[in-house]
Amino acid sequence: MVDSLEHQIKMRDNYIANIQNILKGEETLPHYRTSDSAKALRPINNNSQKFDSVLENQIVEEERYNVNSNNPPVESRIEINKLHFYCPLKGALTNEFNAAGNHYGIDIVSNLNEPILSILDGTVVFAGWTLEAGYVIEIQHRNDLVSFYKHNSQLLKEIGDRVKAGEAIAIIGNTGEYTTGPHLHFEIWHSGKPLNPSDYIVF
């Protein structure tokens, strides 16, 4: 700040002196310049360092769990009813979707040891145990869709795994406090709101 004030004062004095010289008909003084008092910056070295590969591997590992890492920056939106959903499990529906009654999915009964299939391509964002629903697997899909598969006896995928539509992700089971027998409790959510799976999939 002091340097700047000093510079401004010298410029003002130089300007006044030139005005006086012009009025006297004398030669004007050259324009006053001052050097920058800031320190010179060191040149940036863009050459690769030996630790770059370690950092790169760390970033790649972290991005493995980022469900949006391979998505394009601007993704075209499509209508949900135009998507082809795989049926997660063929069987008999024993409990229908009822949002008013806090039943945000459907219950499907099928044969023992039947595989549960992913309805769309996606990334596993949860695969683990919950007290109420037993072994649960949750898959994030494009177009803000998320699918839930609950009460499984065994999970075949882990968090971060990429899955294809129709790929086996779990085995039907009877786990969790809220189960009434071997079945799949299946939910679809879109943009944070539950959808009735029966509106999009034939079971």
pLDDT, tens digit, 9 for 90 and up, residues 163-181? 999 999 999 999 999 888 9
Q: Which residues of 167-191 are buried (b: 16+ CB within 10 A; e: fewer)?
A: bebbbbbebbeebeebbbbbbbbee
Confidence band for 87, pLDDT divided at 50, 70 and 90: very high
- Using CB atoms within 10 A of its CB, is residue 67 exposed (0-12), middle (13-18) or buried (19+)? middle
Confidence band for 74, pLDDT divided at 50, 70 and 90: very low
Whether pTM exceeds 0.95: no
Q: What is the DSSP letter of 183?
A: B
User: How is residue 90 written in tokens?
Assistant: 């063929």
